[in-house]
Amino acid sequence: MNILLLGSGGREHALAWKISQSKHCSHLYIAPGNAGTSQHGTNVAFGVNDFDAIAAFASNNKIDMVVVGPEDPLVNGIRDYFESHDALKNIPVIGPDKNGAQLEGSKDFSKQFMQRHKIPTAGYASFQRENLEEGYLFLETLQAPYVLKADGLAAGKGVLILNNLDEAKHELKSMLEDAKFGKAGNTVVIEEFLAGIEVSVFVLTDGKSYVVLPEAKDYKRIGDGDKGLNTGGMGAVSPVPFYDEAFRKKVEDRIIRPTVKGLHEEKIDYKGFIFIGLMNVGGDPYVIEYNARMGDPETEVVIPRIKNDLVELFKAVAAGNLHHHQIETDERTALTVMLVSEGYPGDYTKGKIMSGFENCEGSILFHAGTSGKDNDVLTNGGRVLAITSIANSIEAAKEISMQNAEKIKYEGKYYRKDIGNDLMM
Ligand code: AMP
Ligand code: GLY
């Protein structure tokens, strides 16, 4: 099969690495890809939201399947676009349609969905500009900290957690009246704060049945000890020790099964990944958010632990017979450390020459934000390189990733030194 993968981050490098190992994959194209994905296929220079270019490329290059990495093209309806064109409708797109992608694209939609299907989540109410005053009154009924979420996609920046009521009211006003997050904040979800430990679980579904992929923990803040500004994710670990059998069962019974059943009942033809961000509150799972894609950098630890042929699973998703499949996992621990650019998550530098790749042993180097120029690899993003190691313990996997993180050189390199420390026994 000829496969087109959309995206350019560490998630897409991990997917490209895995897809290219499939016996079903004859040629892999990645649009736009990065310097790492080009090791596993051919990068093609168009953006993930350029549906006309994607369609023309798919027709001209006999593409048999499109795999969508990031959320944007899903929320913008890439699946619907393919299904509505005669020349494209037989090319399966792995990812939900526009309606299904609302699980991520609209917090209000996802909260209502959870309510309809009795899926545990924080209590909430939604507000718009016209009912700002009601929003203030609702905030007064809650205890600090206050959680405000822009309804739409806000590049991971749309969630505010505030310790003080006046500050919460001020931020609500700036979201609703001053468009702090643009259109994404036309509706704001105000939620109860859930105190606990976060863990993410990943599901692949054909819209009716599903397989559960390995869980992972992400490290979101820029600084050690999980301090400082929020980022896309500075590292990840899988499996997660506190995700034990009892918790796993609760997640499947209370969250995963009702989610897939709910989608099916609502006639949402969901074919793709569901990433469920969970809070473990005293041993009980609550949904913090759904995403319509895999996580980044979680994919860089989840995918290497999956032994199945990924394209075979995707074919089953497209054909609607995923119930014939079971996930086989590597029991060992995968840990990834993200190297980032100076300044990230604020304004960061780009175009720095990278070296040291050949000195790294025992890790998989997933490029997150790199580009190739002549024979050089250059930094080309805030998050630059995910260094994944697999070993029998978190300690051992971390040791290997840290040694290799030292060996990669570029100006302004930064990474967290404490990935996995909180999970060590
Ligand atoms: P989200 O973009 O929905 O993942 O939210 C970003 C981060 O905010 C999450 O990863 C959590 O750490 C935190 N968060 C979101 N909602 C809540 C909540 N209801 N209670 C506590 N923390 C939350
Ligand atoms: N690492 C979090 C995300 O992909 O949304």
pLDDT the model gives residue 369:
96
Give the mean model confidence (pLDDT) for residues 49-69.
97
Q: Ligand 1 — pocket residues by CB below 6 A?
A: 122, 147, 159, 191, 193-194, 198, 277, 288-289
pLDDT the model gives residue 127:
87
CATH 3.20.20.105 is the classification of domain 123-191: no
pLDDT the model gives residue 157:
74
Tell me how far the alpha carbon of residue 165 lies from the centroid of ligand 1, in angstroms.
18
Quick one: which ligand is closest to 70's CA? 2
Mean pLDDT score of the chain = 95
pLDDT the model gives residue 156:
67
- For the Cβ of 296 lying below 6 angstroms from any atom of ligand 2, the answer is yes
Answer CATH for 197-324 from 2.40.50.140, 1.10.1760.20, 3.30.470.20, 3.20.20.60: 3.30.470.20
Quick one: which ligand is closest to 157's CA? 1
DSSP state of 252: I
Please give the structure tokens belonging to residue 289. Answer: 């958010």
Tell me how far the alpha carbon of residue 89 lies from the centroid of ligand 2, in angstroms.
30
Bridge partners of residue 276, in order along the sequence? 201, 290
Q: Which residues of 42-55 are buried (b: 16+ CB within 10 A; e: fewer)?
A: ebeeeebeebeebb
Tell me how far the alpha carbon of residue 277 lies from the centroid of ligand 2, in angstroms.
9
CA distance 163 to 165: 7
Please give the structure tokens belonging to residue 107. Answer: 């917090």
Q: From residue 303, how far is each of 88, 90, 181, 290 by CA, in Å?
A: 28, 27, 33, 19
The number of the ligand 2 atom at minimal distance from the alpha carbon of 295 is 4
Please give the structure tokens belonging to residue 75. Answer: 């929320």
CATH code for the part of the protein at 333-423: 3.90.600.10
Q: What is the pLDDT of residues 127-186, one digit of tens each?
A: 888 898 888 898 999 998 999 988 888 776 788 899 999 998 998 888 888 878 778 778
Give the mean model confidence (pLDDT) for residues 392-402.
98
Residue whose CA lies nearest to ligand 2 atom number 4:
295
Q: What is the pLDDT of residues 223-247, one digit of tens each?
A: 999 999 889 999 999 999 999 999 9
The answer to whether 217 and 240 are in contact (CB under 8 A) is yes
CATH code for the part of the protein at 2-96: 3.40.50.20
pLDDT the model gives residue 159:
86
Q: Where are the beta strands (DSSP E) in 328-382?
A: 333-340, 353-354, 363-367, 370-373, 376-379
Tally of residues, the chain: 425
Residue whose CA lies nearest to ligand 1 atom number 9:
288
The 3-state DSSP class for residue 288 equals: strand
Give the mean model confidence (pLDDT) for residues 107-124.
95
pTM of the model: 0.95
CA distance 17 to 323: 25
Own/partner pairs for 131-138, CB < 8 Å, 24+ apart? 132/172, 132/173, 132/176, 132/177, 135/169, 135/172, 135/176, 135/188, 135/190, 136/169, 136/172, 138/190
The 3-state DSSP class for residue 404 equals: helix
Quick one: which ligand is closest to 286's CA? 1
Q: What is the pLDDT of residues 129-140, one digit of tens each?
A: 889 888 889 899
- For the Cβ of 108 lying below 6 angstroms from any atom of ligand 2, the answer is no
CA distance 370 to 86: 36
Quick one: which ligand is closest to 160's CA? 1
Tell me how far the alpha carbon of residue 161 lies from the centroid of ligand 1, in angstroms.
8
pLDDT the model gives residue 22:
98
Tell me how far the alpha carbon of residue 183 lies from the centroid of ligand 2, in angstroms.
21
Quick one: which ligand is closest to 368's CA? 2
pLDDT the model gives residue 135:
86
Residue whose CA lies nearest to ligand 2 atom number 3:
295
Q: Where are the domains of the chain?
A: 2-96, 123-191, 197-324, 333-423
Residue whose CA lies nearest to ligand 1 atom number 14:
288
Tell me how far the alpha carbon of residue 159 lies from the centroid of ligand 1, in angstroms.
7
Residue 58 CA, distance from chain mean position: 25
- For the Cβ of 69 lying below 6 angstroms from any atom of ligand 2, the answer is no
The number of the ligand 2 atom at minimal distance from the alpha carbon of 291 is 5
pLDDT the model gives residue 362:
97
Tell me how far the alpha carbon of residue 288 lies from the centroid of ligand 1, in angstroms.
6
The answer to whether 127 and 111 are in contact (CB under 8 A) is no
CA distance 62 to 312: 19
pLDDT the model gives residue 299:
98
Residue whose CA lies nearest to ligand 1 atom number 11:
288
**In the block, which residue shows the tokens 């929320």?**
75
DSSP H or E run through 7: strand 2-7
